[in-house]
Amino acid sequence: MEQYLVIARSVTHAQRLERLLARAGIRAQIYHAPLELNGGRGCAYAVQFRCRDLRSVLHMIYGADLGPVQVYSCGEGQYREVQV
Amino acid sequence: MIYLDSAATSFQKPDSVRAAVVRAFAEMSSPGRGGYPAAMRAADMVLECRTELQELFRVQTPEQVVFTMNATHALNIAVKSLVPPEGHAVISGYEHNAVTRPLHALNASVTVARAPLFDPEKTVAAFREAIVPGTDAVICNHVSNVFGYAQPVEEIAALCRERQVPLIIDASQSAGILLLDCRVLGAAFVAMPGHKGLCGPQGTGVLICGESAPLRPLLEGGTGSRSAEQEMPDFLPDRLEAGTQNVPGIAGLLAGVRFVRARGLARICTHERYLAASAAAGLRSVPGVQVFAGEGLFAQTGVLSFRSEKIDPDTLGNRLSQRGIAVRTGLHCAPLAHKTAGTFETGTVRASFSFFNTEAEVFRLVEAVEEILREKS
């Protein structure tokens, strides 16, 4: 399973994403996002989770009107932006 | 003390409210200021409170629930988002200074949709006449803080939708007592205190924002989001929530809202209406007392004004206070309401009831008024 990081615009947005994922059985954690991942806009929150099928997760996020989001795949301390 | 001033603030709070405030002090820091456990516990609690309010008021998303210091703060955001300087607003004849003073500060042109007390048909007709092309906003309280008059906000909201004029509802006296369905009403804003019918602590308020309402922040500052930018974030709730949140207050409010939802609005409202109707009947039997009460149960909530030709309201209030009964006297920060009802020259005594008051307390109020007036004559 791949690990992903979704950048949320606010803590409320991050919490709603976390709860949405939890309802789908995906355990997620909220972190203060690394500054470099937020396009120079400053403080933000990131929701980290593992999943097999990112497309269906994104479908769920956008379906719940919680988009747009920036998504990164992460591993070994590296972040790679995923085109949504 | 017999506390009959719940229209100002509900003083008897559920035990769970006190416990929640204490727990917040012990366990929570500030939401949106970090990802560590104390910050996230605060954030979780704040989102819980938004969600409870979202469900109670049938709002589309929790982000549309914005926390403020009080209803005045919420109303200032709403009024200043919709009414430009020298703009035009239509208001009911029963508005509070929390509405009229911001409009005065904007030098707005204000049309008062004046109608007699407890007359919903004439109230709607007055709004129909007052709204004109170019009206920037209609502002109406759900319930008058002086007379407990439950205004026909559903009909006024329908009229505003028909005329495409944004509506601000001041739910200060109805939140936690009467049902307000935001999806049906389609109001641009609904403002309310947390510390009255919702049983939360003082220093809490709520602004519910309609989906397409323009949002003008009253305060700018830190939000814990997009901090590299100097513009306030363009998304809710951050756009309207600059600065550190009142976490203990919101924790208490969450407990208060849960208390209200567990009891049910209908049960709370029926109890308060019953007490007000009992007080009205009792006070009407006291010679020389004028009572402002509507016909039927639905015209009024648990807020009741009265006055006597034998003694001025402030002296009567002071005498009641000496007997251990807390009421509010004077103009109740709503001179317009008194002008509309014809009580501006004297003001009134206002008894306002909560879920925690009893019928025995109502009898004691009536008895005390009787005693005071007997001593006077």
Given a cut of 80, whether residue B149 has pLDDT beyond it is yes
Same domain for B175 and B61: yes
- Choosing from B202, B237, B263, the residue where a domain stops is B263
Q: Which two tokens stand for residue B144?
A: 């008058």
Same domain for B357 and B312: yes
CATH number of the domain that residue B368 is part of: 3.90.1150.10
Q: Is B226 helix (H, G, I), strand (E, B) or coil?
A: coil
Question: Any idea what the Cα angle at residue B124 is, between residues B122 and B130, rounded to 5°?
Answer: 100
| B189-193: strand order across its sheet | B65-68, B205-209, B189-193, B167-170, B137-141, B88-92, B109-113
The sign one gets for the Cα dihedral B193, B198, B202, B204 is negative
- The whole-angstrom distance between B77's CA and the closest CA on chain A is 21
Burial class (CB in 10 A: 0-12, 13-18, 19+), A52: exposed
Same domain for B343 and B277: yes
The Cβ of residue B195 has, within 10 Å, a number of other Cβ atoms equal to 26
Same domain for B203 and B101: yes
- For residues B30 and B279, what is the distance between their CA atoms, to the nearest angstrom? 45
Omega of the bond leading into B237 within 30 degrees of 0 (cis): yes
Q: Which of B228, B229, B238 lies at the smallest CB-CB distance from A10?
A: B238
Same domain for B299 and B259: no
- Choosing from B204, B230, B263, the residue where a domain stops is B263
- The whole-angstrom distance between B230's CA and the closest CA on chain A is 10
- Choosing from B263, B295, B327, the residue where a domain stops is B263
Is pTM, for the whole model, over 0.90?
A: yes
Residue B197 sits in which domain range?
A: 15-263
Q: What's the pLDDT at B232?
A: 97
Partners of B63 on chain A (C-beta within 8 Å) are: 12-13, 16
The sign one gets for the Cα dihedral B280, B284, B290, B294 is positive
Q: Which of A32, A42, A65 lies at the smallest CB-CB distance from B34?
A: A32
Same domain for B70 and B180: yes
Given a cut of 80, whether residue B142 has pLDDT beyond it is yes
Given a cut of 80, whether residue B334 has pLDDT beyond it is yes
Given a cut of 80, whether residue B297 has pLDDT beyond it is no
Contact B223 A10 (CB under 8 A): yes
Give yes or no for a contact between B201 and B24, defined as CB atoms under 8 angstroms apart: no
The ipTM estimated for the assembled molecules is 0.88
- For residues A81 and A66, what is the distance between their CA atoms, to the nearest angstrom? 19
Given a cut of 80, whether residue B104 has pLDDT beyond it is yes
- For residues A39 and B228, what is the distance between their CA atoms, to the nearest angstrom? 10
Identify from A9, A12, A48 which residue to disrupt to test chain B contact, counting B C-beta atoms within 10 A and taking the largest count.
A12
CATH number of the domain that residue B93 is part of: 3.40.640.10
Q: Which of A12, A15, A43 lies at the smallest CB-CB distance from B227?
A: A43
Tokens 């308060």 appear where? B272
- For residues B295 and B97, what is the distance between their CA atoms, to the nearest angstrom? 27
pLDDT interval class at B233 (50, 70, 90): very high
Pure H helices in B57-152: 71-82, 97-105, 120-130
Q: Which of B43, B224, B238 lies at the smallest CB-CB distance from A15?
A: B43
Locate the domains of chain A by residue range. 2-82
Contact A65 B61 (CB under 8 A): yes
Q: What is the 8-class DSSP label of residue B137?
A: E
Identify from B33, B225, B240, B250 which residue to disrupt to test chain A contact, counting A C-beta atoms within 10 A and taking the largest count.
B225
Give the rounded percent of residues in chain B with a pLDDT score beyond 70: 100
Same domain for B110 and B204: yes
Closest residue of chain B to A44, computed from CA coordinates:
B225
Contact B40 A12 (CB under 8 A): no
* β-pairing verdict for B2-3 and B65-68: unpaired
Residues B157-165: what's their mean pLDDT? 98
Same domain for B202 and B234: yes
Given a cut of 80, whether residue B239 has pLDDT beyond it is yes
CATH 1.10.10.60 applies to domain A2-82: no
pLDDT in tens, chain A (84 residues): 899 999 999 999 999 999 999 999 999 999 999 888 888 888 899 999 999 999 999 999 999 999 988 999 998 878 999 988
Q: Which letter, b or e, does each residue of B51-73 get, where b requires 16 or more Cβ atoms within 10 Å of its Cβ?
A: bbbbebbebebbbbbbbbbbbbb
Same domain for B272 and B258: no
**Each residue of B197-206: pLDDT tens digit?**
999 999 999 9
Could you write out the DSSP letters of every residue in A12-56?
HHHHHHHHHHHHTT--EEEEEPPGGGGTT----EEEEEEES-HHH
Closest CA to B365 of B377, B351, B376, B346: B351
Give the rounded percent of residues in chain B with a pLDDT score beyond 90: 97
Q: Is B369 helix (H, G, I), strand (E, B) or coil?
A: helix
Give yes or no for a contact between A66 and A17, defined as CB atoms under 8 angstroms apart: yes
Contact B224 A41 (CB under 8 A): no
Name the domain count of chain B: 2
Same domain for B255 and B140: yes
- For residues B196 and A52, what is the distance between their CA atoms, to the nearest angstrom? 49
Partners of B228 on chain A (C-beta within 8 Å) are: 40-43
Burial class (CB in 10 A: 0-12, 13-18, 19+), A56: exposed
- The whole-angstrom distance between B324's CA and the closest CA on chain A is 45
